[in-house]
Amino acid sequence: MNTWNYTKESDFILMGLTDSKEIQLVLTVLFVLIYLVTVLGNAGMMLIIHLDAQLHTPMYFFLSHLSFLDLSYSTVITPQTLQNLLTSTKIISFIGCFTQMYAFVLLSAAECFLLASMAYDRYVAICNPLQYPVIMSTRFCSTLLTGSYMIGTMDSTVNIFCMNTLYFCRPKVIHHFFCDTSPILALSCSDTNNIQIIIFIFAGSTLVVSLITISASYVSILSTILKINSSSGKHKAFSTCASHLLGVTVFYGTLIFTYLKPSNSYYSGKEQVASVFYTIVIPMLNPLIYSLRNKEVKSAIHRVIKKQKGSRLKFRVALSD
């Protein structure tokens, strides 16, 4: 069997989501609209948190970085997907493919631990409110954030190192709309068992540790909420973490559905749809979830708009004088 190793001249062919021209046109329009909302929503969330002093708290510190991660990995996936939908070649270079895979693994792993950090923040806020300012200090929050990015970097580095040791068989066609680990492994002529085990250990550890942290935090939160006597108190306590819980459920639900399955079922349409959901749709949904269900964010938006209007009025008065 002829084998080939990746060189800088090597290209891949991304098969994408469909061969139908009509469906490609619909998906192009849909993905452009989704990406625009993603950029505006996440950039707007970061800007509002930066401009409004009342949102300079640990929860919104993490939320601003969640918006950054969502915006980043949507940008890693969506433009290339749109290019493939608009062109007939569907080619991605070796460097482009491995850069996309590296960035995607890094950002998604970092998001897992950032969501876990946000769950821990809600646990401290509800279960230990008197110690909250001490425990969730600026230094500790920065440590959690740095740790999330470091773990993401470690996962992606191990992943890309393992993938770069493989030999592959022609044709070099990736049956997916972006460079993900599983469809690239499927091209290999090498024995991938050891590499799959290594990747599974690192990726599985990321999912399991972050999920355990989130689950333990919310079990404690639920236990504390149930001990509150007044219904208004229960509602107020639950409302502080409802948005995060919804975001976690959507994100992890699609990840688990996509990756925790037999390898021979990878190329079914359901997994492709799930991949579209967590790579393209969820980055758009997160800012909507956290803003529409959060009174503090709504109030901050009104304050920033009012402040900007006041600044413009003062500027006009100064000019007239």
Give the pLDDT of residue 84.
87
The CATH number given to 11-320 is 1.20.1070.10
Residue 155: the pLDDT is 92
**What pLDDT is recorded for position 149?**
96
User: What is each CA distance from 130 to 134, 135, 136, 248, 282, in whole angstroms?
Assistant: 9, 10, 11, 26, 34
> 279: which 2 tokens?
């790579």
Mean pLDDT by 10 residues, the chain (321 residues): 46 83 90 94 90 87 93 92 84 88 93 93 90 94 95 93 79 83 82 85 88 91 83 70 78 74 52 80 84 68 69 52 56
Q: How far is CA 236 from CA 54, 108, 138, 226, in A?
A: 18, 31, 25, 12
User: What pLDDT is attached to residue 8?
Assistant: 40
- How do the domains of the chain map onto residue ranges? 11-320
Classify strands 91-93 and 11-14 as parallel, antiparallel or unpaired: antiparallel
Distance CA(183)–CA(176), nearest Å, equals 7
pLDDT at 184 (0 to 100)? 85
Q: 90 in the Ramachandran plot: left (φ > 0), alpha (ψ -120 to 50) or beta?
A: left
pLDDT value at position 18? Answer: 81
Q: What is the 3-state secondary structure (H, E, C) of the chain?
A: CCCECCCCCCEEEECCCCCCHHHHHHHHHHHHHHHHHHHHHHHHHHHHHHHCHHHCCHHHHHHHHHHHHHHHHHHHHHHHHHHHHHCCCCEEEHHHHHHHHHHHHHHHHHHHHHHHHHHHHHHHHHHCHHHHHHHCCHHHHHHHHHHHHHHHHHHHHHHHHHHCCCCECCCCEECCCCCCHHHHHCCECCCCHHHHHHHHHHHHHHHHHHHHHHHHHHHHHHHHHHCCCCHHHHHHHHHHHHHHHHHHHHHHHHHHHHHCCCHHHCCCHHHHHHHHHHHHHHHHHHHHHHHHCCHHHHHHHHHHHHHHHHHHHHHHHHHHC
Q: List the strands of the sheet with 173-174, edge to edge.
A: 91-93, 11-14, 173-174
What pLDDT does 320 receive? 56
pLDDT of residue 62: 94
What pLDDT does 165 receive?
A: 82
| Confidence at residue 315, expressed as pLDDT on a 0 to 100 scale | 46
Pairing of strands 173-174, 91-93: unpaired
Q: How many CB atoms lie within 10 A of CB 306?
A: 10
302 CB burial (10 A radius; 0-12, 13-18, 19+): exposed
- Pairing assessment for the beta strands 11-14 and 173-174 based on DSSP bridges: parallel
Question: How much is the pLDDT for 316?
Answer: 55
So what's the pLDDT on residue 294? 66
